[in-house]
Amino acid sequence: MGFIDVIKERARADKKVIVLPETEDRRTYQAAEQILKEGIADLILIGSEEAVKKGSEGLDISGAKVVDPATDPNFGAYVDKLVELRSKKGMTKEQATEILSKQYLYYGVMMVKMGDADGMVSGACHSTADTLRPCLQILKTKPGTKLVSAFFLMVVPDCEYGENGTFVFADSGLEQNPDPEKLANIAISSAESFKLLVQAEPKVAMLSHSTKGSAKHADVDKVVEATKIAKELAPDLMLDGELQLDAAIVPSVGNSKAPGSQVAGQANVLVFPDLDAGNIGYKLVQRLAKAEAYGPVTQGIAKPVNDLSRGCSWEDIVGVVAITAVQCQA
């Protein structure tokens, strides 16, 4: 059984309610049909009955609940709550009404906030910033978490590295140029996410163009400092750095370049020094190795809301919904 099949099975075992707000996109309906068919989650689609009927023509989404803000009896309660949450920022009832009437992403996040849904998946036709803005404004960060970051779950076919070819790549979707403290927190959050989703021991590599002092540069110093901070914050975590990619995942290279390291040669959580490296890295592996890439999956938000790449397929949406459902179970 493949990784995503295991995730789907776990999602089915304790079904959650997931909101899909992007009802202007055909891929949402294609994914919804498959999610309902497989019993992965209960779904809420936001939009008018007419628009949803037109957008889903030829597809069976009869098992989904359609919520139209214009007729939803909860609308008033959502407006009042949004005003309460954003009053210090000057939010008025008129502004909240305007936002929730027209911006379905905000409406979906309010459903999660108010407990009418467990999680949300968006981003097929919205930027990461558009998806995460309402989350940070309404849901806030998870207690004990200093920042929100994002990762891709990579499943590489016929791969002997990582956890049978499964990796977490972080941050590959959100944090542009994290300082050492942020990089350390990304590493710790990513290890927790790996353990939850893959159900295996995380082995975290702090990646660089240098291994154990082989190069001198301020960029290397950042990773060295981040490694030190992460080890202080999570002393029991298997984590090491700075490591080049080959030293991190290839046993023979790890033994040669970083002898004695618990992580070198067997890493399954790869923490990139910045967003450029992380984004380029996951797309290289996705396209050249024909890997399955699920994400960007967010971590650190109080309740699970996940972003999608705008280049995603409907199959990708199905996978991210399954992952989101498992996050909701936790």
**What does each of the 330 residues of the chain score in pLDDT, given as a tens digit?**
688 899 999 999 999 999 999 999 899 999 999 999 999 999 999 999 999 999 999 999 999 999 999 999 999 999 999 999 898 888 899 999 999 999 999 999 999 999 999 999 998 888 878 888 888 888 888 887 878 899 999 999 999 999 999 999 999 878 889 999 999 999 999 999 999 999 999 999 999 999 998 889 998 999 999 999 999 999 999 999 899 999 999 999 999 999 999 999 999 999 999 999 999 999 999 999 999 888 888 898 889 999 887 888 899 899 999 999 999 998
| Reported pTM | 0.86
Phi, psi of 45, deg, nearest 5: -105, 130
